[in-house]
């Protein structure tokens, strides 16, 4: 009896250990020698250190960011040398959560445990995802996936678990603009839910809708002037190239191999881009027909996200953004969820499509391994670990009122604190 009761718990512990090891293996040095990344120091902690709890109501990039600011507020009571590790841990938890949630609670969504395991492992090793790996700044992309799973899965058992889930949905909704992309999914889920799930779906739709309204008001009012106006340079052929290089080829071959392909003029021909883009879109379209409604909801959220990213990207680089988007890895965060959609589409066709489509779908699933292997190890982001801790030592010895600069791993970024 005791062994029967502990087996599920042992399985969950094993999943945490294995999934954590997979994440760490992609950039072990980042975990062993963490340093700050982008907004982790310059925005989240720098503002939290100077302004306290007010930061929870301060938009950044035009929207509220409750989760990273909450992590930064807690960090004020920790030794400053622990800050990079603490912020990295926040990104780690956010990235790990969707994989575990899908594996443990996703049976109604994906009945086969092997299919859930395949999706989870591909998500943990997804190609073209350097920007969003183990950093708090981009944790919102993983929180979107977690929120989506919460929306489309049945209500958890027990009032306490449901209340906890509602709280997570609210925090996620107030931690970036992604509730705007999930609001149609939440409404769709409520309208299509059965009588036993209708009240739960309504509560979740109300939470996501309220968060979306708050974030929309922030974007239109307080944060209206925070986003820079970008030169897009759009065209149909450029869109085909972006989809081909950043989505379809990067997911199958990895950005490393796509960069090698781009050195050959053959791959720059517009006809090549159109053929690959239309083939990939056809696979997704067929999966929309053959797959469950949850996949159509996932596609809707991903489509809105990608469209907004292409129309209004958040970037510090100058030049035509659609030209830059054709560089594999540039703005990769905008393509991670579409890549997951493409992988799930192939998984659906491998199991449900007619025979003439099933064989190519299975073959593509094998090719995804090439992309994962090519992009598994991330390029080094460190190099500032020692300099950061030297700055910590100088800050601790400095008199009140002294300003100290703390280097970050992001090129050109440095957190500046005035000692109190």
pLDDT of residue 265: 77
pLDDT value for 315: 65
Whole-model pTM: value is 0.93
For residue 387, the surrounding DSSP H or E stretch is helix 385-397
CA quadruple 340, 313, 188, 287: dihedral sign: negative
User: Measured between alpha carbons, how far is 271 from 258 in angstroms, rounded to an integer?
Assistant: 17
Runs of H (alpha helix) within 27-138: 28-32, 39, 46-51, 66-75, 83-105, 113-124
Contact 378, 26 (CB under 8 A): yes
Strand, helix or coil for residue 228: coil
Please, are residues 177 and 219 in contact by the beta-carbon 8 Å criterion? Answer: yes
Distance CA 252, CA 261 (A): 13
Q: Which of 386, 380, 411, 383 is nearest to 27 (CA)?
A: 380
**373-416 per-position pLDDT tens digit:** 999 998 887 778 999 999 999 999 999 999 999 999 988 899 99
Percentage of the chain lying above the pLDDT 70 cut: 95
Q: Residue 246 in 3-state DSSP? A: helix
The per-residue pLDDT for range 58-74, each reduced to its tens digit, is 998 889 999 999 999 99
pLDDT tens for 253-276 read: 999 999 888 888 777 788 999 999
Q: Which two tokens stand for residue 376?
A: 């598994």
Q: Which residues make Cβ contacts (< 8 Å) with residue 309, sequence separation at least 6?
A: 331, 334
């Amino acid at each position: 009896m005791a062994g029967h009761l502990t087996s599920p718990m042992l399985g969950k512990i094993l999943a945490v250990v294995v999934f954590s090891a997979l994440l760490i293996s992609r950039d072990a040095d980042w975990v062993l020698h963490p340093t700050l990344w982008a907004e982790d120091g310059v925005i989240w902690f720098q503002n939290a250190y100077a302004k306290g709890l007010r930061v929870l109501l301060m938009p950044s990039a035009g929207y509220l960011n409750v989760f990273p600011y909450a992590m930064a507020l807690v960090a004020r009571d920790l030794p400053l040398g622990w800050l990079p590790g603490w912020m990295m841990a926040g990104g780690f938890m956010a990235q790990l959560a969707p994989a575990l949630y899908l594996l443990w609670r996703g049976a109604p969504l994906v009945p086969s445990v092997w299919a859930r395991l395949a999706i989870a492992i591909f998500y943990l090793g997804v190609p073209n995802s350097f920007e969003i790996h183990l950093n708090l700044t981009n944790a919102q992309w993983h929180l979107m996936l977690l929120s989506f799973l919460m929306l489309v899965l049945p209500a958890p058992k027990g009032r306490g678990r449901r209340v906890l889930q509602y709280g997570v949905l609210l925090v996620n909704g107030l931690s970036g603009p992604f509730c705007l992309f999930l609001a149609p999914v939440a409404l769709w889920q409520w309208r299509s839910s059965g009588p036993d799930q209708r009240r739960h779906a309504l509560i979740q739709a109300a939470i996501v809708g309220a968060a979306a309204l708050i974030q929309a008001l922030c974007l239109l009012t307080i944060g209206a002037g925070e986003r820079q106006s970008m030169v897009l340079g759009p065209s149909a052929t450029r869109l085909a190239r972006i989809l081909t290089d950043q989505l379809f080829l990067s997911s199958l071959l990895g950005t490393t191999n796509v960069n090698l392909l781009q050195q050959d003029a053959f791959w720059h021909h517009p006809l090549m881009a159109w053929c690959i883009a239309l083939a990939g879109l056809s696979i997704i379209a067929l999966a929309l027909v053959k797959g469950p409604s949850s996949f159509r909801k996932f596609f809707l959220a991903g489509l809105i996200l990608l469209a907004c990213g292409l129309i209004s990207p958040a970037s510090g680089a100058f030049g035509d953004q659609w030209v830059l988007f054709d560089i594999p890895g540039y703005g990769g965060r905008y393509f991670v969820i579409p890549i997951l959609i493409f992988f799930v589409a192939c998984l659906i066709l491998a199991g449900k499509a007619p025979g003439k489509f099933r064989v190519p779908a299975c073959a593509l699933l094998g090719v995804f391994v090439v992309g994962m292997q090519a992009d598994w190890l991330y390029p080094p982001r460190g190099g500032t670990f020692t300099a950061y801790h030297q700055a910590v030592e100088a800050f601790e010895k400095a008199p009140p009122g002294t300003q100290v600069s703390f280097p970050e791993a992001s090129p050109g970024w440095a957190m500046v604190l005035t000692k109190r």
